[in-house]
Amino acid sequence: MEGVTFTVRHGVNGEQMSEVQSSSDQQFILADPARESTHSFEVVATRNGQPLDTAQTSVEIAEAVEEEEPEEEEEEEEEIDEDLVDEEDSTSPEDGDSDSPDEPSPPTDDNESGDGNDGDGNDSDDDESDDTPEPPEDDDSDDDNDE
């Protein structure tokens, strides 16, 4: 916009902090460490000393993000990722297919094969309860994810 002068007045908490004039489009970077501050802006565009109609004046005000805030968000994401990893670790291969927790998993042999230990705490093969496999103890944690 040829011949146009922009005047920007910046105030913080009611006090004028700066006044900048420019004859071209310009980005003004303002620093204020106090988060509780109230900023005010007055922008006047003039051509040959005459104010332009406000419809011809456009102002974009963007709030800068301090470097500390994105780091905090990254830490939160890392915590979430760690939680997901913890849940994945709690599902052991012995639990069977984690997508179908309703199906009972087969009994596991904690010791060498053929010793009579089927993982139920009873080393005898002639016990009638051996025919019914016990569900794994951590099966309830998988149900929380399905809801």
Task: Give per-residue pLDDT as tens, 86-122.
Answer: 555 555 555 555 555 566 666 665 555 555 555 556 5
Q: What is the pLDDT of residue 69?
A: 47
β partners of residue 57: none
Q: Strand order of the sheet with strand 50-51?
A: 15-22, 4-12, 39-47, 50-51
Q: Which residues of the chain fall short of a pLDDT of 70?
A: 1-2, 24-37, 39, 54-147
- Do the Cβ atoms of 145 and 87 come closer than 8 Å? yes
pLDDT at 125: 55
Alpha-carbon distance of 31 to 109, in angstroms, equals 66
- Hey, what amino acid is at 75? E
Q: What's residue 6's pLDDT?
A: 76
